Structure 1
Amino acid sequence: MKEILLSLLTGGVVGFLFAFFKLPIPAPPALPGIMGIIGIFLGFKLFDWLF
């Protein structure tokens, strides 16, 4: 759980800094893009689980 919270905090800080310096966001700007990343991760984990 600690790792997840630290990742979320780090992502929040990076997102804040990108917005502060008016840089393009280094992640998909829309929910479908984020869901695509989650799908890739889940597919990878499913493969590990099956094989």
Structure 2
Amino acid sequence: PLSSSWQLLTFSVSLSISSHFLHFLHFKTFASYLQTLEGWRTPSQQSCRTVPAK
């Protein structure tokens, strides 16, 4: 019984870690995708801009 519960615990921990990593990965990909979409949508404004927005 002890080994099975230990396996379950390690499995749940690894599952939560992988799910968190996947969420982080999806967020990063989504953010870069949005940035690319924004860059494609307004190329003329970005090229005409002389002062950076930062």
What TM-score, normalized by structure 1, do the two folds share?
0.43
The structure richer in helix per residue is: 2
Of structures 1 and 2, the one with the larger relative CO (CA 8 A, separation 6+) is: 1
Structure with higher Rg: it is 2
